[in-house]
A and B are shown apart, each in its own frame.
Chain A
Amino acid sequence: QKEVEQNSGPLSVPEGAIASLNCTYSDRGSQSFFWYRQYSGKSPELIMSIYSNGDKEDGRFTAQLNKASQYVSLLIRDSQPSDSATYLCAVNEAGYSTLTFGKGTMLLVSP
């Protein structure tokens, strides 16, 4: 069974710090990786996608992928209180349209 594992948290960081969120996955056939942000009572919102090994940067966000280690991470630089949310890691296996979601890591950024 495909699994996506995340630390549930909460991960607490002070404002301005770097928040590092991690995710491991079990299926070596996985090819597409996504990070979603979900505020309490809201729907998941896509913030990053990554398809190849290495780093991908978008503003304050950097996604990192290491397929050999089956590991994907999200770095948030200059964390803001508005970044406080649950971050969901999602993985897509080659040949399938479905995503397997982790249960999410709650991030708390204190002013």
Chain B
Amino acid sequence: DAGVIQSPRHEVTEMGQEVTLRCKPISGHNSLFWYRQTMMRGLELLIYFNNNVPIDDSGMPEDRFSAKMPNASFSTLKIQPSEPRDSAVYFCASTERGRGMVPLYSNQPQHFGDGTRLSIL
């Protein structure tokens, strides 16, 4: 089965430009997560969706960041305008529906895409 698919793999752009990162979760998974990873801060959760609805965006650093999930098989993370401090690796992950009594959350492991390495000059 195909895993989580992210594009592009690498993005280099100049400060002030709009950046759009894309993610296709594993088919049948109903939760999707966007992370940012840097050496200093490790892996940070930016936002997550459950059944295409944003549940928690408290990790989004500022209004320059936005994320959408128009359907179960596609999500975008957009940065506008981009800044050099946004340079990082951005991961998308997905997880299947929980097997517990409460279907709204999942205690199942997350599966990660290959990431997008973003460099803002």
Contact = CB atoms under 8 A, between A and B. Distances in A.
Contacts, number: 50
Interface in A25-81: 31-32, 34, 36, 42-46, 49, 51
Interface string B30-59: 010100000000110100101000011000
A92 B114 CA distance: 22
Nearest to A44: B112
A92 B112 contact: no
Contact of A97 (B31, B111, B112, B115): B31
A86 to B, nearest CB: 10
A103 B111 CA distance: 18
Interface stretch (B17-25, B63-71, B79-87, B102-110): B102-110
B105 A95 contact: yes
Contacts of B114: 42-43
B107 A92 contact: yes
A88 B43 contact: yes
B45 A44 contact: no
Interface residues of A, number: 24
Given A34-B109, A51-B107, A97 B42 contact: no
A99 interface: yes
Contacts of B91: 43-44
A98 B115 contact: no
Contacts of B106: 97
Interface of B: 31, 33, 42-43, 45, 48, 50, 55-56, 91, 95, 98, 102, 105-115
24 contacts: A31-B107, A34-B110, A36-B112, A43-B91, A43-B112, A43-B113, A43-B114, A44-B43, A44-B91, A46-B110, A88-B43, A90-B110, A92-B107, A94-B107, A96-B105, A97-B31, A97-B95, A97-B106, A98-B48, A101-B42, A102-B42, A103-B42, A103-B43, A104-B42
Q: Top 8 A-B pairs ranked by shortest CB distance? A: A103-B42, A32-B107, A43-B112, A101-B43, A97-B105, A97-B106, A46-B109, A44-B112
Interface of A: 31-32, 34, 36, 42-46, 49, 51, 88, 90, 92, 94-99, 101-104
